[in-house]
Amino acid sequence: MKIGRLQIDNPIFLAPMAGVSDYPFRLLCKEYGAGLVYSEFVSADGIFRANDKTLSMIRFSDEERPIGIQIFGDSPEIMAEAARTINKQFRPDLIDINYGCPVPKVTKRGAGSAALRDLNLMDEITLAVVEAVPKIPVTVKMRAGWDQNRIVVPEAGVRLEQCGIKAITLHPRTARQSYGGSADWALIKELKAAVDMPVIGNGDIKSVEDMRRMFDTTGCDAVMIGRAALGNPFIFRELKAAWQNAKLFAPATLKEQVALCIRHLKMQVDYCGAQMGANLMRKHFGWYLKSFPGAPQYRNRLVTATDGNEMLVILDEIADYADQTPQVQIVG
């Protein structure tokens, strides 16, 4: 598929997830088959102020391409300047505008999904960003609306297309729903019928069957995987194989999962430093290590370990257990 002039090998994307989609995680998902990866969403204000922490969140390597950088904010001028800065300093393959985040600390400023309460402001922000970076595609990730009484699909999609957006990712829940309830995939189909650009479906894709059903029932051009990838980058190889009509992979074994966990830890430490890398991995252990005898005890030891070296010792214990257990251990 293509987004603007950007050619993408397969239509299975990694979602931008705050606190998760950093360089090590993106690289792992890319290696397992993600066709496009996104950075964590970053504040346009932080970019505008040249905040070191913000800028460090959007640095990437050529191994990750194609990659999109996602930004959020409530000021058209600052969003435009942030887009210019990103394009000049980092040269991503696309810039994505976040109109989907439902977190109060973002929406109370009028950013994220709060922009869907004022489509005129949404237009102003979108036009400012598109005009600021005319040589690369600008895309949007959005929710269905603020609440059930204010569903803005497909009106917002048509307006975004008129502003020059090259693709839309729709998570068909409202901001008020957050991550509760079910995603209304019918809204993805409705959006696809209303616009003449790629539509990426997002929400409740947890398996090959889910992906196939989303493609079949909505007509979307690509799918975006978020929570189903937590502790499970393997999902991209499964979905990519299914999309290619190739032989499907068996579910990851405990041995494979532990090996990936060890690799992820080492990558995180190399990228962030010993202490920060170990701290960031604590949440990943909770996602990686499930559904086998003793899993809660191992996870508890890992999240309370003092450093990465102690974590590696515990992971080696789990690897030894996996070696001694001949049956397939399905995790995640």
The catalytic residue positions are 101
Q: What is the dihedral of CA 159, 162, 168, 174, to 10 degrees?
A: -10
- Write down the H helix ranges in 195-273: 208-218, 234-243, 254-272
Q: Is the dihedral of CA 104, 107, 111, 115 positive or negative?
A: positive
Count the residues in the chain. Answer: 332
Q: Is 244 exposed, middle or buried (0-12, 13-18, 19+ CB in 10 A)?
A: exposed
Do 38 and 14 touch, CB atoms closer than 8 A? Answer: yes
186-194 vs 208-218: helix crossing angle, rounded to 10: 40
Do 152 and 113 touch, CB atoms closer than 8 A? Answer: no
Do 101 and 44 touch, CB atoms closer than 8 A? Answer: no
Distances 113 to 17, 104, 132, 140, 196 between C-alpha atoms, Å: 15, 10, 22, 11, 23
Contacts 24+ apart (CB under 8 A), 250-255: 250/328, 251/328, 251/330, 252/330, 252/331, 252/332, 253/322, 253/328, 253/329, 253/330, 254/292, 254/318, 254/321, 254/322, 254/325, 254/329, 254/331, 255/319, 255/322, 255/323, 255/329
Element (DSSP H or E) covering residue 224: strand 222-225
Do 25 and 52 touch, CB atoms closer than 8 A? Answer: no
Q: Which amino acid belongs to residue 120?
A: N
